[in-house]
A and B are shown apart, each in its own frame.
Chain A
Amino acid sequence: MNNMIGKVAKFEIVRQLKKPAFWAAAILIPLFIGGIYFISFVFGSEDVNMNPTLDENTKMAITDEAGILGPEMGQYIINGDKEYGIQMVKNGEADLYFYIPADFVESKKVDFYHISEGLDLFNYDGNIIKGILAQNAAMKVAPVDVISLMGDFEVVDNKLAADGEDANALGKAVIPIAILVVFFMFIALFGNRFLMATVEEKENRISEMILTAVSSKHLIIGKIIAMLVLGVIQIVVLVVPILILVFLNRDNAMVSMILNSIEIDPVAITMNLILFVASVFLYAGTCVFVGSLVSTARDASSFIGPAIIAMVFPMYFMQLFMLSEPGAIVYFLTYFPLSAPIALMLRSSFGTLGTVEFTIGLIEVTICAVIAIRLAVITFQKNAINFESFRPKFLKK
């Protein structure tokens, strides 16, 4: 790294880290999230029926290869194998299907199949089998019944899509969406900081003094690097407590249900990580460009607002992004430069972004990021000693 860029970046990083406001913003958000989690855990758990019973309108089927259920459950036991049971769910002959494997004592697992739209993350119908097995075991005690009585086995939740395809859309989307959430936080936390960093020299009338010691290009690049490093620090401070909280509560029914539903989708995760990096540079470039156009943070905030709205706009159309066939609005938001980052990440998360579209989108975001940063450097250089308030002609009237 250029020596001057390093000196500028070091100064900007250290002085931000010394500010209580930086740490307040970094710590208050996880505290807020933790607070919501705590409240929903303490007060919300009463509303969630984690031990549901079978209602009379629900059709249930069980394959009991272990042979542990008594004759009183005969109405639910089918003769077919697992594939047959799954087909029953797909055909609508059964709402819930449980498969008790022959090695139940060793594996301590029961497979549970049901139709899912992909959004019922907190589905506890699988626990019905625990009630049934406990009731059944109470009548006769054998080694297998001890497991049943204690409920010491796992119900593996297998979601099936309405059209019969295997589905866990939300489970696969959890990690890619988490990457998107981090980018969203970056937008929320860092827009103002980028603007302040860019206009500070002009606002405090230091531009001329500092630009006789360092070139405007190196000054602005140093500032961008500093803000990105601070972004990483702030995100680590934000994410680590959440991960610790999740780890400590991994045995909690709700948390383990969420964790079990998470499915690693390497393609979507890789796509979103690459898009995240390019998008951060696009956002940084846009903010710095706006900051370099104006002379005060106040002027800058009135111009950056529309850019931020355009960036987060796809979030308002979340439902449209979840459809398997993207519509015109989704395509527009995917290729409009400012909305592209979030739109591309949403589509990647929900599995509707193919390799070709990903490549086109990534190239577009990268080119726009380079143009924005280049424009920012040029504009900063030209406007470094313009101390007058910037207003477009039509606003002056």
Chain B
Amino acid sequence: MKNIVEVKNFKMRFGNKIVISDLSFEVKKGEIFGLLGSNGSGKTTTLRALLGFYRPTAGELLIDGKKYDPEDSSVVVGYLPEERGLYRKETVIDTMIYFGELKGLKNPREWSMKYLKRVGLLDKVNEKVEKLSGGQQQKIQLGITIMGNPKLLVLDEPTKGFDPMNRKLLMEIIDELHQKGAAVILITHYMDEVEKLCDRAILLKDGKARAYGSIAEIKKEFGGKTLDQIFVEIYGGEDE
């Protein structure tokens, strides 16, 4: 199977409100895929349905050919959600070991120490999370996301709130995992990131796909405009 993600005829309704109507797309193994759209276009809802937080009103959302089961060790998914935090009262190392154990790492302590050394937080090992700065906490969240060599990385606005240093680190890590063969779904409002990183993308508006394909195909469809210009054309007049 060459697709890591398959979304087929996905519909999502909350009460009377239709959030997603008949959405289909695939993410190929090893590619970086941009899930784009303005606020409220259904990006996060799609990811949450893909990861089993929402039950779809209709359609199928599959990861590696099956519905996502967090405890299926054959499909490790690293998810950095838009709403993210940590156990504030726990120490850095205890938090990382806990997530490492849940994600099936054989030696979570060793993995965590290596990661903390890499991101310059080795001296914070026994600090409580609440004592760390926002940027340091982001590094921990990122470490938890990439634990266990995920086959699929799902990053919902990963650079939101990241300082430039952490943004650079994130890009390096995405690139590393991509080199190892992981697929990445990236939700972002930064079109420069999409142009630089993504192989293919889908642009959502009101729960429907407005453009889908490789970045070159999308640009061609819109008469060779840049992604920024395409974005403005599709969502022009909407409140961002």
For the side of the interface on A, what is the size category? 20 to 34
A384 contacts B by Cβ under 8 Å: yes
- Structural contact, A213 and B99, CB atoms closer than 8 A: yes
- Structural contact, A385 and B83, CB atoms closer than 8 A: yes
Contacts of A4 in B (CB 8 A): 71, 102
CB closest chain-B residue, reference A15: B90
CA distance A214 to B103 in the complex (A): 8
Q: A365 CB to closest chain B CB, in angstroms?
A: 32
Contacts of B77 in A (CB 8 A): 212
Contacts of B52 in A (CB 8 A): 211
CA distance A4 to B102 in the complex (A): 7
Enumerate B70-112 residues with CB–CB distance to A below 8 Å. 70-71, 77-81, 83-90, 94, 98-99, 101-103
- Structural contact, A208 and B81, CB atoms closer than 8 A: yes
Contacts of A218 in B (CB 8 A): 71
- Structural contact, B98 and A11, CB atoms closer than 8 A: yes
Majority secondary structure of chain B interface residues (helix, strand, loop or mixed): loop
Q: Pick the contact of A211: B70, B90, B101, B141 (CB < 8 A).
A: B70
CA distance A215 to B79 in the complex (A): 14
CA distance A4 to B72 in the complex (A): 11
Q: Pick the contact of A208: B83, B86, B89 (CB < 8 A).
A: B83
Q: A204-B88, A385-B48 are in contact. Are A211 and B53 (CB under 8 A)?
A: yes
- Structural contact, A210 and B99, CB atoms closer than 8 A: yes
- Structural contact, B71 and A214, CB atoms closer than 8 A: yes
Tally of contact residues, B, Cβ under 8 A? 29
CA distance A218 to B52 in the complex (A): 15
B145 contacts A by Cβ under 8 Å: yes
- Structural contact, B71 and A209, CB atoms closer than 8 A: no
CA distance A15 to B84 in the complex (A): 21
Contacts of B163 in A (CB 8 A): none
CB closest chain-A residue, reference B141: A209
- Structural contact, A204 and B87, CB atoms closer than 8 A: yes
CA distance A213 to B154 in the complex (A): 13
- Structural contact, A212 and B86, CB atoms closer than 8 A: no
CA distance A213 to B141 in the complex (A): 14
- Structural contact, A215 and B53, CB atoms closer than 8 A: no
Q: A320 CB to closest chain B CB, in angstroms?
A: 44
CA distance A229 to B70 in the complex (A): 26
A200 contacts B by Cβ under 8 Å: yes
Question: Mask for B38-49, Cβ within 8 A of A = 1, else 0?
Answer: 000000000010
- Structural contact, A215 and B141, CB atoms closer than 8 A: no
Q: Most chain-B CB neighbours within 10 Å: which of A7, A8, A200, A208?
A: A208
CA distance A215 to B70 in the complex (A): 6
CB closest chain-B residue, reference A11: B98
Contacts of A211 in B (CB 8 A): 51-53, 70
Enumerate A187-218 residues with CB–CB distance to B below 8 Å. 200, 204-206, 208-215, 218
Residues of A within 8 A of B (CB): 4, 7-8, 11, 14-15, 200, 204-206, 208-215, 218, 384-385, 387
Chosen A-B contacts, 27 in total, with CB atoms closer than 8 Å, are A4-B71, A7-B98, A7-B101, A11-B94, A11-B98, A15-B87, A200-B87, A204-B85, A204-B87, A206-B84, A208-B79, A209-B79, A209-B80, A209-B84, A209-B144, A211-B52, A211-B70, A213-B70, A213-B99, A214-B71, A214-B102, A215-B69, A215-B70, A215-B71, A218-B71, A384-B53, A385-B53
